[in-house]
Structure 1
Amino acid sequence: MELLLLVVCDYVYYHSLRFAEQKGHKSLFVHVPLFSKISEDTQMQFVPSHMIDTLQGQHKRIRFFYLPGWCNKLIKFSVIKYTKESLHMMDKLFILSLIGILMVTAYGAAAKMVYTDLDILEKLENFDIPEDDADDYDTKLFDWPSFTSRSSGKNLVNVDTFGAAGDGVSDDTQAFVSAWNKACGMPKSVLLVPQGRTYLVNATKFNGPCETKLVIQIDGKIVAPDEPSNWDPKFQRIWLEFSKLKGVVFQGNGVIDGSGSKWWAASCKKNKSNPCKSAPTALTIESSSGVKVTGLTIQNSQQMNFIIARSNSVRVSKVMVSSPGDSPNTDGIHITGSTNVVLQDCKIGTGDDCVSIVNASSNIKMKKIYCGPGHGISIGSLGNNNSTGIVTNVVLDTAFLKETTNGLRIKTYQGGSGYVQDVRFTNVQMQDVSNPILIDQFYCDNPTSCQNQTSAVKISQIMYRNITGTTKSEKAIKFACSDTVPCSHIVLNNVNLEGRDGQVEAYCNSAEGFGYGVIHPSADCLYSHDNKGLDQSHKSEPVLVTEEAETGHDEL
């Protein structure tokens, strides 16, 4: 009976592969037993004899992954090994054991499953986020001889002209508001915050829409009042907010400093006896489109450093975010309700997530990100208070994380709904990072414990590719997924994480997926749907598989 079922498995994946081939896939996938380690010398023994000529004659590359479902489990515990001879024998036995309805059922189910897996993997490998350059006009500042420079066609609006003292003590808020109103109302204006001066500005909303081609040139330093008790209660969540803008450029070598030390000291996360209160975000881009932010430094925010909210086509480049590693809730760049956002060449060190991406965000691309200190690069949290959270199409390409408390994290509360889908983390190097790869569907950051619930945000189609480095954690890979809403289509490709202080392992709960390339620690728990974690026999030995060719504010 066992031999007969093995023959059925052979038939299933042979015809499912041919089915995928007929659909025009460029790569041909071959299922192999769960325990197998494949090298170039042994890879062909896993191919049915009747497929060898087809593979060699029509395809440039062969990809191997583990046979899912009942065939996978059957082969795992079978004493029969796949060799050319045994497969040839099974091909012959199959002719004798052709039971019509059983074959049709097995073929149809597996072919559909494999075809779906092929589509998902090719999508995860190849999808990209387009980068919209918006209105890419010349924004370079020259030496401005007067208020208006006719030669350049730009109108300079200097905050000093409107009475700003720039001494770091006098309140320059009204001067900034007046300068903003002037610049916003003129096309091709440059709002200038001069270098070498420090401007004290209270919480302010700078509202659009504005005339076209507005540039905000920040070369000096803007500081917030440092006393929380004097903060305007109408602006509990914001310090500098810019809203309803289109095609605006923020640039310069200046600094936006939130003076947050007293806010942090009063935080309930610093001192449990303190009441939990909201706190301002240093810089907010709200309900805007075609915005560019480049060259600025944002530091010491009272709470979050930089929020991009309900906006479209925002590009952030060469921005530095800096807050102490123990400053509470000081997310570096927080993206909520936004689409088509690109973060590039940014250096972020903070007391919370370096980058956090929350509900209603899609088409987010991050390139060349330095993170540390901080809580890593996170999608979420999502689903708090039984809410719906949706995040799709996120790409991280090239990052370095140093001594962060998490690496690449997806975090959701129990009881939520919605989904996280189509995420690819690639080319990430880590140094002494805790929890390098983490999906946590039991996240809880509430003052009291969170109630166990059955609903959850669905997490699927997540790829980790070329992830290397060292970790402080024993569990270098952790997929803690919901029993009722499991994670699916988790893909690992060339992941190599070494323990700083010893061996590392992977842990899975209700997580389905596969890996190819060098995977260390071995993540066999994905393949077997093992809710108890990694098979002890595979804890630290690399597995080689050959391949060719909501604003999300928390209270302080």
Structure 2
Amino acid sequence: MQKLLAAGLFMLCFGIGYSQPTFHVGGFGAIGDGHTDDSQAFLKAWKQLCEAGGTGRPTLEIPASTTFLLKPTLFQGPCNSNDLHLQHPILLVNGMAIEIAGYASVMLMVSSLKDLEQSMAEAVHFHNCNNLQITGISLVNSPKSHISINQCTGVSISRIQINSPCDSPNTDGIDISSSTNLDIQHSIIKTGDDCIAINTGSSFINITGVACGPGHGISVGSLGEDGADDRVEEVHVRDCNFSRTQNGARIKTFRGGSGYARKISFEQITLIDSKNPIIIDQHYTNDGRRESSSAVKVSDVTYSGVQGTSAEEQAITLNCSDEIGCFNIKMKKIKISSSVPGKKTHAYCNNAHGTSTLTTPNVPCLLRLDKFTV
């Protein structure tokens, strides 16, 4: 028996002031009884939606309070209209609104589209999409990563909520790879892995107002696995908080890789009982291999206004490669205290170079600029 996905749906309503072609999944044979496989009906409806042109916004409509059973499904473009709308509701998982039978890494994939506004998703992979908007959705208990963005340009993600257990493996909130010009704003992510992971080929990523926790923080990487030449730049995280996370602001690279992670900033960050609040790890491997003469270069990284409490005494870790090292690391107005009364925090650093100003705990490998101020 093929593995199926049951999706419980609540309709979102939108006031639209102009004529638009609308395609109701029931008109293509979708049953919505929670037992019948409706995959082919959805694909037929998508085909008509994709072929629609003319004026207005072609819309795929799903009835309220109905359960559909779908296989992992590819919704593929390009389409005739550059302004498609999926009039989908928020998904709820707890209380049997979503039931995953067996394992599936991608439940729904939307590919090669432009100007798509997506108002519903669960374990969704977006590939080669431009001007993509994802807003107002709630995702719970994905079997793997919740949202993955690959080879996309011009993506806006806002007001989403992701909720998975802290011990759920590989359940990244948002995975980004080979994509540029992304804005992620005002969202809540609770998961068992990275809240947001920025992977190779990504640039100009802005993350603002994200509450992360539980989870493994907001991570650049991992990069350089199996000797890969990986590159990430212009990642800017601001006004975010990490609550009881395994990591906070993290950059992680494997030994033996090449490329770079550069022009990265974490500003105005709040920590609540977070482990590894600030960490750069150029030794991200557990295989015991000897140090390599090559590494992903980490440079031009700024931490500013990072304040709060650490669950561990080692609050800052700059574990850079012995051969390559990390350069132009800047810390300013950092104050991380222990969440355990009476404990003090400290920093560890190896072959990291840069400056610090008004930073607690002191980072011994960085030049303290505040010592020279009057």
Give your verdict on TM over 0.5.
yes
Query: Quick one: structure 1 residues 195 and 544, their matched pair in 2 at CA, closer, same or farther if it must change by over 3 Å?
Result: farther
2:364 is aligned, of 508, 524, 529, to 524
2:74 is aligned, of 179, 196, 205, to 205
- Asked if residue 485 in structure 1 is aligned to residue 324 in structure 2, the reply is yes
Q: CA RMSD in A?
A: 2.2
- Asked if residue 141 in structure 1 is aligned to residue 14 in structure 2, the reply is yes
**Cα offset for 1:247?**
0.8
Q: When you count strand as a share of all residues, which structure comes out higher?
A: 2
- Asked if residue 226 in structure 1 is aligned to residue 76 in structure 2, the reply is no
**Cα offset for 1:469?**
0.5
Structure 2 distance, partners of 1:345, 1:152, is: 30
Structure 1 distance, partners of 2:225, 2:117, is: 34
**Cα offset for 1:161?**
2.4
Match of 2:8 in 1: none
Structure 2 distance, partners of 1:432, 1:290, is: 37
Q: Secondary structure at the match of 1:327?
A: coil
**Cα offset for 1:166?**
2.4
Give 5+ residue unaligned stretches, structure 2. 1-11
**Cα offset for 1:184?**
1.2
Task: In structure 2, give the amino acid aligned to 1:288.
Answer: C
Contact 1:201/1:224 (CA < 8 Å) preserved in 2?
no
2:59 is aligned, of 190, 211, 214, to 190
Match of 1:375 in 2: 216
Residues 231-263 of structure 1: CA deviation (Å, up to 9, x unaligned): 6xxxx6422111100111112xx563xxxxxxx
Q: When you count helix as a share of all residues, which structure comes out higher?
A: 1
State which drifts further: 164-173 or 174-183: 164-173
1:248 is aligned, of 112, 116, 120, to 116
Q: Secondary structure at the match of 2:21?
A: strand
Q: Secondary structure at the match of 2:43?
A: helix
Q: Secondary structure at the match of 1:430?
A: strand
Task: In structure 2, give the amino acid aligned to 1:471.
Answer: S
Residues 248-280 of structure 1: CA deviation (Å, up to 9, x unaligned): 1112xx563xxxxxxxxxxxxxxxxxxxxxxxx
Number of residue pairs aligned between Structure 1 and Structure 2: 353
- Asked if residue 172 in structure 1 is aligned to residue 46 in structure 2, the reply is no
**Cα offset for 1:169?**
2.6
Task: In structure 1, give the amino acid aligned to 2:310.
Answer: T
- Asked if residue 456 in structure 1 is aligned to residue 324 in structure 2, the reply is no
Structure 1 distance, partners of 2:203, 2:162, is: 23
Structure 1 distance, partners of 2:98, 2:128, is: 23
Match of 1:153 in 2: 19
Task: In structure 1, give the amino acid aligned to 2:29.
Answer: G
Task: In structure 2, give the amino acid aligned to 1:212.
Answer: N
Contact 1:415/1:453 (CA < 8 Å) preserved in 2?
yes
What fraction of aligned residue pairs are identical, expressed as a percent?
A: 35
Q: Secondary structure at the match of 1:154?
A: coil
Query: Quick one: structure 1 residues 294 and 220, their matched pair in 2 at CA, closer, same or farther if it must change by over 3 Å?
Result: closer
Q: Secondary structure at the match of 1:488?
A: strand
Residues 134-178 of structure 1: CA deviation (Å, up to 9, x unaligned): xxxxx97239xxxxxxx6221222222222222333222112111
**Cα offset for 1:323?**
1.2
Task: In structure 2, give the amino acid aligned to 1:217.
Answer: Q
Contact 1:362/1:392 (CA < 8 Å) preserved in 2?
yes
Match of 2:187 in 1: 346
- Asked if residue 303 in structure 1 is aligned to residue 144 in structure 2, the reply is yes
Task: In structure 2, give the amino acid aligned to 1:184.
Answer: C
Structure 1 distance, partners of 2:37, 2:248, is: 41
Query: Quick one: structure 1 residues 487 and 164, their matched pair in 2 at CA, closer, same or farther if it must change by over 3 Å?
Result: same
Q: Secondary structure at the match of 1:195?
A: coil
**Cα offset for 1:341?**
0.7
Structure 2 distance, partners of 1:353, 1:301, is: 13
Task: In structure 1, give the amino acid aligned to 2:309.
Answer: T
Q: Secondary structure at the match of 2:27?
A: helix
Give 5+ residue unaligned stretches, structure 1. 1-138, 144-150, 257-281, 529-542, 549-556
Contact 2:351/2:365 (CA < 8 Å) preserved in 1?
no
Match of 1:466 in 2: 305
**Cα offset for 1:212?**
2.1
